[in-house]
């Protein structure tokens, strides 16, 4: 059996994480309306299988993912981490990163960060918070582990991906250091 915790931007229930939305004042086409810093917490259990945290994009906007971070708490051995952006209804993996959090022998929290290739995602108004497009982080399920997914997502006008070249939209990534780090 596996454990799946799903959340949808722009609101995430505090029992499974949280989100901080910062207005950026952009027009939504050549600059972002806002940036959302999201957190989804997936505690493990003794059922085995996989432990998965999913973050669904905000259906009101086109979303550009700046970076994804996975924190694994309770780590006592090496942990494989599978991070992906699933884009279609057939769970097609658009981009993916697989890493191994090494056993340090002393630390019980492992962290890895991923900056995926730029892609603009647009969700429809589905009732299911695990419907795609989503950012997914997956680790082996263990009752001692907690998987925490962090993501920074920029919100653009819903039509931006149709009328603005990707290289113009992705300029926000180069200007975003102060927003992300403060």
Number of neighbours of residue 58 by Cβ within 10 angstroms: 22
Give the pLDDT score at 42.
Answer: 96
Q: What is the pLDDT of residues 11-26, one digit of tens each?
A: 899 999 999 999 999 9
Q: What is the pLDDT of residues 110-121, one digit of tens each?
A: 889 998 888 888
Number of neighbours of residue 4 by Cβ within 10 angstroms: 14
Give the pLDDT score at 182.
Answer: 44
Q: What is the pLDDT of residues 141-162, one digit of tens each?
A: 988 899 999 999 999 999 998 9
Q: What is the pLDDT of residues 124-139, one digit of tens each?
A: 876 666 678 899 999 9
Give the pLDDT score at 181.
Answer: 45
Domain boundaries, the chain: 3-181
Nearest to 132 by CA among 49, 81, 63: 63
Q: Which residues contact 182 (CB under 8 A, 6 or more apart)?
A: none
CATH number for the domain formed by residue range(s) 3-181: 2.60.120
């Amino acid at each position: 059996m596996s454990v799946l915790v799903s959340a949808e931007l722009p609101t995430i229930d505090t029992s499974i994480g949280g989100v901080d939305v910062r207005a950026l004042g952009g027009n939504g086409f050549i600059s972002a309306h806002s940036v959302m810093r999201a957190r989804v917490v997936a505690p493990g259990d003794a059922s085995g299988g996989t432990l998965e945290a999913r973050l669904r994009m905000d259906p009101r906007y086109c979303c550009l993912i700046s970076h994804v971070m996975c924190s694994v708490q309770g780590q006592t051995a090496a942990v494989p981490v599978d991070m992906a952006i699933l884009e279609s209804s057939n769970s097609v993996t658009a981009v993916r990163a697989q890493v191994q959090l090494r056993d340090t022998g002393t630390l019980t929290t492992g962290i890895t960060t991923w900056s995926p290739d730029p892609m603009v995602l647009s969700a429809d108004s589905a009732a299911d918070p695990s419907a795609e497009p989503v950012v997914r982080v997956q680790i082996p399920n263990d009752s001692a582990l907690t998987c925490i997914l962090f993501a920074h997502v920029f919100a653009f006008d819903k039509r931006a991906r149709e009328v603005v070249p990707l290289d113009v939209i992705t300029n926000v990534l180069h200007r975003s250091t102060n927003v992300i780090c403060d």
